[in-house]
Chains A and B, each alone.
Chain A
Amino acid sequence: MLGQLTKFEIRYHTRQIGFWIAVVAMFLVGIAIISMPGVTFAAETGERIKANGAIVTAASTSTLSLLAMFFGAVFVVSGVMRDQVSKSLEMIHSTPVTTRDMILSRMIGVYVATFICITALSIGIFLGQFMPWMDKDALGPLNPFYYLQPLLLFTAVNTLFVSGFYTLIAATTSNRALVYVSVVGLFTAYISAGLYVGQDASDLITALSDPFGASALSIAVEFWPADEQNTQMVPWLGYVGLNRLVWGGIGLFLFAASYGLFKRGLITGKSKRHHEDESSSEQIILAATATNMQFSAIIATLWARFKYEYFTTVRSIPFIILTLLALTTFAISIYFQMKFLPNPALATSALMGATVMGNLAIPLLIMVVFFSGEITWRDKTAGIAEILDSSPVKNGPLLAGKWLALMAMVVTLVAAGVLFGALAQVVLGNVPINWLTFLNLAFVSFAPRILLLCVLVLFIQNFMPNRVIGMLASAALVIFFFIAMNFFPFTHPLMEYGSLRSGGWSEMNGFSSLLRYSWFALYWGSLAALFVVLSTWLWRRGTQANLWNRFRSLGKRMSLLSAVLATFFAVSFVGSGALIYKAYNIDNTFRTQKQNDLRQVEWEKVFGENWLKPVPKIQTIEVDVEFHPSKRTATFKGSYIVKNTSDEPLSEVYISKVSDHDEDIKSLKLEGAVRVTTGENIEKIEDFGYRLFKFEPPLAPGAISKLTFETDFHAPRLGDGGVIERNGTFVDSFRALPQFGISDNRMRNKDKRRKNGLPEYKKRPDRTDLAARENNFFGASADYVNFKAKVCTDIGQIPIAPGKMIAKYEENNMACREYQTIRPILNFFAFLSADFEVKRDVWKNPAGRDVPLAIYFHKTHDYNVDLMLDAMKSSLDTFTTLFGPYQYNQIRIMEFPYRSFAQSFAGTIPFSERIGFVMDPGDPEDNQKVDLATYVTMHEIGHQWFAHQIVPANTKGFNVLSEGLTENAALSAYEAKLGWQKARRLLEQRTIQAYLTGRVVDREDEPPLSKAEGQQYLDYNKASWVFWGLKQNMGEAKMQAAIREFLEEYGSKGSPYPTTLQLLEYLRAAAPEDMQLLITDYWDRITFWDLKLGDVSVKPNSDGGYRVKLIAFVDKKIASEETGKETSVTKIDGEDLNEWVEIGFYDKDPKETWGDEWIKLERVRINQLETELNFDLYQRPKYVLLDPRRLLIERKVDDNVKKMKDDKLATATQ
């Protein structure tokens, strides 16, 4: 019996259209995820990480099997709840089938159906590699076990959980709506749990919290290099195994509970409430009542319909539940952001607004899809449609009531989001609420796209045969426009329905791109309005209202007014679209990703090696800048004195055009040279933004010339944004002033180069290349220059440029300031203008000239200004002590909008509105908090030494000398101000995690640190870690002194510029002999140590102290640059294991102090994989920890620690 029933169930499921939709969808997702470039997993795979490698396969299976959440519920409803839904319960449940067979067969049916769907995913993942468009170099050897293992480990177990979960809800509640609501509940719980554990939970909790096993897997294989990810299967034991056991167990339990709680028969007996009837008594009085269909009546009907639809929607259970879920996820996510992140941002309205809208997005999209179907089909579903359709109400109000109701629902939720966000802001912090920010983020930037989407999904309901298909089609549209669109290489802004492109929000300057916004609003608004008019024509009225009939009677529905309106909106849509297209594609140069790639290929063909040719070097710069913020225009005019510093005569030079519009280049003249206007490639050269000049005669070595220029910067146009803001302009010299030579625009990605038929990427010159050392990393066209600028702007704003301010006056109704450098600076400046508040201070120099400090900030953004001034002063203390004097007259920090970074120009540091100014520095005593406001300030000031004094040569390893040395400086200043533990905390987050993660996600080869090619995870992160390790190994004073000597030798000198080779000479010279190998490991190869603490025992000594005996496992592995494959030095000829390892002993959990406050810290030299060590201590340790200060580059340190149990004092072993 059970067998037959089960067979029936499986046949039943496999004959449902929904089942096949799910199977096909999963199959396609599987294929896409592996083979389509641009889709998540495929985007990460390439020559290093193989698309058919073990871990990629397992990760894609486990991650995507969570899609089972969505269709699993459908199977449960059609399997377990079939009888209720189809009203055949009374018939079926009265048959002699045993309850056991009935429920078991159904549970098995649901399980099998779900399992098949996820398996379709695996099949897609498997077959994806055979697709013709698959990148063959992203494939490794095929191994069937890579596919079979995840099937067992993830698919089987996840199916158990998902189907068990829904079955239990179905069996206990017999309520279809609750099953569907629980889908959203489960999904939201999943996301929230991810958010929660994503913050700072232990690995164990993170691993166990994910029912689908993806988090456990990512922890188990965290920091695995490419080679291991490709060839090693998921470890059965450990986090993954544990997770699978737990969730498999939960799944079984859910099934068992469903089985136990299943109730046969009718659960509620009553179907109709009984009403006491009344007897007839009264006469029917039908007073003639005035009816009319005038305007006022239309308004009345519209209002009645709207009110009804709106309140029905917002009082419905799905609305309430989704709203609560949205607000709950917001509350959870903002709470954890504020309370658990080590470096939270301040609770500003910008943060609250962005976070709350972010959390509303998914629930809102679900609601729009669901309620568009509900609202459109409500009258049909209720069965009242015939009464309505035969009543005199006009189509207009009937339709408008529905449409406005859906849109009002969106507005309601967004408004609730604003209020909730404001409430959270009040509760979580004390930054005053900025309603303007909230309202702009909510109703200018966020809501319009959703409202436009409402119109679209309501419009397509006209063409749908029923509610369910209508909802599915809406869901497909949402996925298409909100997700799929981002992955197409041909996506044009004109295709992204409803996307109005307001740009970023700034409290200084509002939205960045309101002009663009208004054009796109006109474009999409017209289309939406057209949809509305068309819908009044196509609206179903009557009982035989299929699409064909409605099309046939279209003529009758059209009124003159509606026809005029439709024409108007159609013209407005097409017209604005054409104008946008013209602005983007004809007047300007909008390019899709694909076109950009092709252009880069073209670039290499046009310029070949020309970009490496020598150029004259700038000696002196004079600039006259006029900002007109109110008009959003500017003029830059000025001159360079240049000199041929090379040994060869210069015959030609490329100069960057600054503006794409030739008419804006008022003047660009080079003395002794003429602009080349004919010749091979000249049009392409100009198209790439350069003008070619020919010296006649060639510029002799040592000869001088002069460049004069005048460039206008136009106000923003559609398709061409412009750089001058109403309040908060920040342009750097590369954007504002013409430059000599061609800047490197080669395609870097290895896989892309191969696909586009380009030769292998030519890396930066070697560090020994003396010619390369003539140029610094800012470009070949200057060493240090003298700089003088006059900057004028609208009155009310402050104009800023690097240098000492030498004059300040009003002229021609403009506010002007003149700046001049007191000593030469790099050819790299910034020009700013905004309505700033200024806070000033002075750094008292104990040994020399005092330095005036100033912070220019937006008037309400004063939260951290004092803190940042403090950071400026203490970093000056540290840096002048460690590395020598500060070279410029002053330091100023200026706030600017939109972009999120800070950048250090000579004595002048633009600092984004989004960082620093709005970071929560946290309690300076709390060693769990990271104070990024202070740290970033210190980092930027550090650049005044490393970047502006030490200027790296443009060779391999260049940016380590800028960012790496700056990180070392900043961390030292941070430690000096806030203590070792806070510094160690910052290192953990900003450095260690960032390096280990960064190297794994990089698709390029990882060079050793000293030859880094500009990878951030090396220049900033690994460098910082290495300096941290080195300074505590060889002594901080010694190391910093070596850096100071290096700086004194090479700083502020011009060419030849230093490389990491020169830095290493100084470090090696200062380090003792036994540290030389360590320096090699840190700098010249990719080294990973692997430590593990074995048995530890503590015994009391006769002298009252304790003897600790421990086994230390120590290995050192060298990783391959190409695959990351690690090989132990014990297996490499000519290598020996001979490592300095620190061992810390603690009487409390060293986690609390980041390894600080030890009872004793021992340093030992280890040369065997397994070593027994003995130590005598005066105090009994409770914890022993290997490498407590994280001086060694190590991936996982969980096994470096042991805790002694109290009761095993005498023979404590573990």
Chain B
Amino acid sequence: MLSISNLSKSFGQIKALQNVSLDLKPGMFGLLGPNGAGKSTLMRNLATLLQPDSGTITLDGVDIVKQPQTMRETLGYLPQDFGVYPRMSAMALLDHLAVLKGISNKKARKEQCENLLRAVNLWKMRGAAVASYSGGMRQRFGVAQSLLGDPSVIIVDEPTAGLDPFERQRFLDLLSEAGEGKIVILSTHIVDDVRDLCPDMAIMGDGEIVARGAPEELIAKIKGKVWRTQVDKSEVESLKMKHKLLSTRLLMGGVIVSILADKAPNAGFEQSDPDLEDAYFAHLYQLV
């Protein structure tokens, strides 16, 4: 079990993490939050790349702040933005990283690298330089390297940003398949990433965990409270003043507004089934 308690981290005046506590069990865990919420800082703390100002992180009882090596030996990490050595082929780079992960048996290493490249569908392109890959291919390579050495914790930070829908889907499928029986932490600002895959999730805003639970639970909390209608652009401001506005969306010259309320704000609104996005905004803006 990965257990985070009262984790805080500041960069100068900016409080990136404030008293974050989470207990994570094997399975996909989605960490949802807008840009700048502190997700990457949390991920980097977990990946031993940053050290918290206070609080502890323990993995199966071992304090990984004090003993980062314990975490590193069982971690698969796909950073938000990573590069590769120029002119190095996928096979060579994966093999190189496998050595660093401690797979010193040459035959086993070769086998695993080949398996992984097949699994992430890069087998045919294994001889090409990773630097020349498209965004999706590179992310898949990232997954492959994070799976090296059969880690028990996998951290992926904003993996789907910049991928086209097709690529994104493939990536998520791959991740969920590979992550069986492991603690997989998927940090993202895209609601859909979490909705389909994660039985457990948390919402993060301004360095704090604002909600935690299964997606259905979070949606359940606003069941029957979401109202939508289409209004003119000019009315949005006044609605915002009066009501708990969840989101606005332009549609055919008008604006669809979603509002959180126990009963219909006024006649024009229709009650609608909340989705995870509504739940996300409701918790993020702390409207619940």
Q: Which of A282, A304, A556 contacts B100 (CB 8 A)?
A: A304
Does A292 reach chain B (CB closer than 8 Å)? yes
B119 near A283 with CB under 8 A, answer yes
- Tell me, in angstroms, the Cα distance from A388 to B100 when the chains sit together: 8
Known: A289-B150, A300-B99, A392-B102. A387 touches B112 (CB 8 A): no
Minimal beta-carbon separation of A319 from chain B (angstroms) = 14
Known: A275-B132, A304-B96, A390-B49. A285 touches B119 (CB 8 A): yes
Q: Which of B70-78, B185-193, B262-270 is near enough to bind chain A?
A: B70-78
Known: A386-B47, A386-B49. A301 touches B99 (CB 8 A): yes
Q: Which of A286, A308, A390, A556 contacts B47 (CB 8 A)?
A: A390
Does B165 reach chain A (CB closer than 8 Å)? no
Q: Inside 8 A of B136's CB, which chain A residues have their CB?
A: 277
Does B244 reach chain A (CB closer than 8 Å)? no
Q: Inside 8 A of B132's CB, which chain A residues have their CB?
A: 272-273, 275
A392 near B97 with CB under 8 A, answer no
Q: Which of A541-549, A563-571, A794-802 is near enough to bind chain B?
A: A541-549
Q: Inside 8 A of B50's CB, which chain A residues have their CB?
A: 542-544
Does A382 reach chain B (CB closer than 8 Å)? yes
- Tell me, in angstroms, the Cα distance from A297 to B98 when the chains sit together: 11
Does A680 reach chain B (CB closer than 8 Å)? no
Q: Inside 8 A of B48's CB, which chain A residues have their CB?
A: 389-390, 542
B84 near A278 with CB under 8 A, answer no
Minimal beta-carbon separation of A402 from chain B (angstroms) = 13
Q: Inside 8 A of B49's CB, which chain A residues have their CB?
A: 386, 389-390, 541-544
Does A393 reach chain B (CB closer than 8 Å)? yes
A383 near B104 with CB under 8 A, answer no
- Tell me, in angstroms, the Cα distance from A287 to B77 when the chains sit together: 19
Does B243 reach chain A (CB closer than 8 Å)? no
A553 near B128 with CB under 8 A, answer no
List the B residue with the shortest CB-CB distance to A379. B85
Does B145 reach chain A (CB closer than 8 Å)? yes
Interface residues of A in 276-296 (CB under 8 A from B): 276-293, 296
Minimal beta-carbon separation of A835 from chain B (angstroms) = 54
List the A residue with the shortest CB-CB distance to B67. A556
List the A residue with the shortest CB-CB distance to B40. A543
Does B111 reach chain A (CB closer than 8 Å)? yes
Known: A387-B79, A542-B44. A292 touches B104 (CB 8 A): yes
Q: Which of B51, B111, B123, B125 contacts A287 (CB 8 A)?
A: B111
By secondary structure, the A interface counts as loop
List the A residue with the shortest CB-CB distance to B128. A275
- Tell me, in angstroms, the Cα distance from A272 to B97 when the chains sit together: 24
A553 near B115 with CB under 8 A, answer no
A301 near B100 with CB under 8 A, answer yes
Does B83 reach chain A (CB closer than 8 Å)? yes
Interface residues of B in 111-161 (CB under 8 A from A): 111-112, 115-116, 118-119, 121-125, 128, 132-134, 136-137, 145, 147, 149-150
Does A95 reach chain B (CB closer than 8 Å)? no
Does B252 reach chain A (CB closer than 8 Å)? no
Q: Inside 8 A of A543's CB, which chain B residues have their CB?
A: 44, 49-50
- Tell me, in angstroms, the Cα distance from A549 to B149 when the chains sit together: 30
Known: A290-B105, A382-B84, A386-B77. A556 touches B134 (CB 8 A): no
Q: Inside 8 A of A282's CB, which chain B residues have their CB?
A: 118-119, 121
Interface residues of B in 32-49 (CB under 8 A from A): 44, 47-49
- Tell me, in angstroms, the Cα distance from A556 to B68 when the chains sit together: 10
Does B283 reach chain A (CB closer than 8 Å)? no
Known: A273-B132, A387-B77, A387-B145. A293 touches B99 (CB 8 A): no
0/1 interface trace, chain A 165-190, chain B, CB 8 Å (1 if under): 00000000000000000000000000
Does B233 reach chain A (CB closer than 8 Å)? no
Q: Which of B20-28, B172-180, B201-209, B211-219 is near enough to bind chain A?
A: B172-180
Interface residues of A in 363-404 (CB under 8 A from B): 378, 382-384, 386-394
Q: Which of A278, A283, A291 contacts B123 (CB 8 A)?
A: A278
Q: Inside 8 A of A291's CB, which chain B residues have their CB?
A: 73, 101-103, 149-150
- Tell me, in angstroms, the Cα distance from A272 to B137 when the chains sit together: 12
- Tell me, in angstroms, the Cα distance from A386 to B136 when the chains sit together: 19
Minimal beta-carbon separation of B106 from chain A (angstroms) = 9
A393 near B100 with CB under 8 A, answer yes
A-B contact count (CB 8 A): 160
Q: Inside 8 A of B105's CB, which chain A residues have their CB?
A: 289-290
Does A312 reach chain B (CB closer than 8 Å)? yes
A390 near B75 with CB under 8 A, answer yes
0/1 interface trace, chain A 609-634, chain B, CB 8 Å (1 if under): 00000000000000000000000000
- Among B44, B49, B170: residue with most chain A CB under 10 A: B49
- Tell me, in angstroms, the Cα distance from A290 to B108 when the chains sit together: 8
List the B residue with the shortest CB-CB distance to A315. B87
Minimal beta-carbon separation of A311 from chain B (angstroms) = 10
Known: A289-B150, A293-B102, A391-B72. A284 touches B177 (CB 8 A): yes
B134 near A383 with CB under 8 A, answer no
Minimal beta-carbon separation of A910 from chain B (angstroms) = 60
A286 near B82 with CB under 8 A, answer no
- Tell me, in angstroms, the Cα distance from A288 to B11 when the chains sit together: 39
- Tell me, in angstroms, the Cα distance from A296 to B102 when the chains sit together: 9
Minimal beta-carbon separation of B64 from chain A (angstroms) = 11
B119 near A284 with CB under 8 A, answer yes
Minimal beta-carbon separation of B265 from chain A (angstroms) = 46
- Tell me, in angstroms, the Cα distance from A553 to B49 when the chains sit together: 13
B147 near A286 with CB under 8 A, answer yes
- Tell me, in angstroms, the Cα distance from A382 to B50 when the chains sit together: 20
Q: Inside 8 A of A301's CB, which chain B residues have their CB?
A: 99-100, 102
Q: Inside 8 A of B178's CB, which chain A residues have their CB?
A: 284, 286
B104 near A392 with CB under 8 A, answer no
Q: Inside 8 A of B128's CB, which chain A residues have their CB?
A: 273, 275
A556 near B112 with CB under 8 A, answer no
Minimal beta-carbon separation of A969 from chain B (angstroms) = 69
Q: Inside 8 A of B133's CB, which chain A residues have their CB?
A: 275
Q: Inside 8 A of A394's CB, which chain B residues have their CB?
A: 69
Minimal beta-carbon separation of B129 from chain A (angstroms) = 8
A387 near B73 with CB under 8 A, answer no
List the B residue with the shortest CB-CB distance to A380. B83
Q: Inside 8 A of B174's CB, which chain A residues have their CB?
A: 280, 284
Q: Which of A274, A288, A389 contacts B150 (CB 8 A)?
A: A288
Q: Which of B72, B82, B119 contacts A383 (CB 8 A)?
A: B82
Minimal beta-carbon separation of A380 from chain B (angstroms) = 9
Q: Inside 8 A of A312's CB, which chain B residues have their CB?
A: 85
A384 near B137 with CB under 8 A, answer no
List the B residue with the shortest CB-CB distance to A549. B51
Q: Which of A281, A308, A386, A391 contacts B121 (CB 8 A)?
A: A281
Does B81 reach chain A (CB closer than 8 Å)? yes
B79 near A386 with CB under 8 A, answer yes
Q: Inside 8 A of A542's CB, which chain B residues have their CB?
A: 44, 48-51
B99 near A304 with CB under 8 A, answer yes
B170 near A296 with CB under 8 A, answer no
Q: Inside 8 A of B15's CB, which chain A residues have their CB?
A: none
- Tell me, in angstroms, the Cα distance from A274 to B178 when the chains sit together: 27
- Tell me, in angstroms, the Cα distance from A222 to B136 when the chains sit together: 70
Q: Inside 8 A of B221's CB, which chain A residues have their CB?
A: none
- Tell me, in angstroms, the Cα distance from A394 to B83 when the chains sit together: 21
Q: Which of B81, B84, B97, B150 contacts A391 (CB 8 A)?
A: B97
**Chain A residues in the interface with B (C-beta under 8 A):** 272-293, 296-297, 300-301, 304-305, 308, 312, 378, 382-384, 386-394, 541-544, 549, 553, 556
| 25 A-B pairs whose Cβ atoms sit less than 8 Å apart in the complex | A272-B132, A278-B121, A278-B122, A280-B170, A282-B121, A284-B115, A284-B178, A286-B150, A289-B109, A289-B149, A292-B104, A293-B73, A300-B99, A312-B85, A383-B82, A383-B83, A383-B84, A386-B77, A391-B77, A392-B102, A393-B100, A541-B49, A542-B48, A542-B49, A542-B51
- 9 A-B pairs besides A278-B122, A289-B105, A290-B108 with CB distance below 8 A are A275-B128, A280-B170, A289-B109, A289-B149, A297-B102, A387-B82, A389-B48, A393-B101, A543-B49
- Please give me the 7 A-B residue pairs with the lowest Cβ-Cβ distance, nearest first: A383-B83, A291-B102, A542-B49, A284-B119, A386-B79, A392-B72, A304-B99
